[in-house]
Structure 1
Amino acid sequence: MAFNSQQTTRARAIVLIAALVVVVAIAVAVIAGGLNPASQAAQGADTSAGTTAGQASTDGTSSDAADSDADAMETVDAQYGTAAQSLRAQHEADPTNPTTLLNLANGYFDWGVAALNHAADDDDEAHATELLNEAIGYYDSYLADNAGAKSAIVDRAICVFYTGDHASAIAALEDLVTNLDAGFAPAWANLGMFYEAEGRAEEASNAYQTAIDAAGDEDAYGVRDYAESRLAALNGAS
């Protein structure tokens, strides 16, 4: 199936969104390791009065952060929820139009990824997962009649990956490059990201290199820079 201009734009955005989530995950890991054992021991040496004062300060900061996180999620839901409502209305008004169905799937994709990037606790993550599962359902409906829509397959796989089912997401893109289009650069770039997240460095490197080769100088889907940067990072770590 040939890509129309909307699908091409969507494919260019896929890897950028994936890169954003990877960067967020790395940042969280670094911050989580910021409190070393020495600083914990120093806290234990504080007087009870000092500890109480410090706890009060920490609680206040945590409360402010929680309020900020809640506000951020409310903003995400307000913005993307309104857009999704409009997209759903368009689809319900023209249910046989595949474009309105694909737009609805993409709308929930964007909402789910935005919610995931702002998730502050388990409830927020469950909310993001629910949105991504909504997107998966709409992609399934679209792909039932458009089985060769490669961008939709990649988008669906990303949703599946971020719901936690890494094996199924990887299998979907491996099937795409094996049986549908061995030269689809966005699939290879995202496969590289999936493999890298799973600690499969050699397979990730191979996938990124294949994405670079498939993209060529034209780089129609805008994945070359991302694949090159991740490949360089992996080579530097080896």
Structure 2
Amino acid sequence: MNHIENKVVIITGASSGIGEATAYKLAEAGAKLVLGARREEKLKAIADSINGKGGAAVYRVTDVVNPSDSKALVQLALDSFGKVDAIFLNAGLMPNSPFAALETDNWNAMVDVNIKGVLNGIAAVLPTFIAQKSGHVLATSSVAGLKAYPGAGVYCGTKWAVKAIMESLRMESAQAGTNIRTATIYPAAVQSELVDHITDSATSGSYRKLYDTYEIPAERVASVVAFALNQPDDTNISEFTIGPTTQPW
């Protein structure tokens, strides 16, 4: 049974990688998409492609660091489609480096996007989900949210935070009887633009080699998102770890 058809799903970080692949996957299943990211040209191209094939997609330039942007994205969903069923908090940064490199600007950027961006999305959608006593919050963490890696301490910290935030949200929602489900996804080497933003040269080289060796298409994660969204209302699958069969992550 298709539980995705006609669901209104918001996706952040929707202009590339996992977010883009998920938009296409859910559109094929009949979902109505609300896409947010910082690059308007890419968002427009994705929305145009979905709409051109008979789907339904709208977009808004969104910086998840700004709470007002997340609120506006939720409002766009309500204005365009009359409801919100799910939000996929997928925007993220991974400019890794050793602590000794003191790339403090990158530390702060990761905290702002990877943690505060998730919290801003939750804050924006929660009043609607609580009022309707249903909703699904999905978020992209990382295998770095399950274990620690040298050279990735801050990134790991932000992704561990996502794990804790999402699990607490699930438990609180169950206790309150608001029926809000959560799904946290922990990808290993999956095709994305994450590696492109690593400025530390030694770290960049090692990650590029890792991803070139192992990475699997972003569509693999999109399929997991679709699987989570396709569960009946009484069933919550809260965590998914996904990566290449050949990668010893």
Asked if these proteins are the same fold (TM beyond 0.5), I'd say no
Q: Which is richer in strand?
A: 2
Q: Which has the higher contact order (CA 8 A, sep 6+)?
A: 2
TM-score (norm 2): 0.30
Q: TM-score, normalised by structure 1?
A: 0.31
In terms of fraction of residues, the more helix-rich structure is: 1
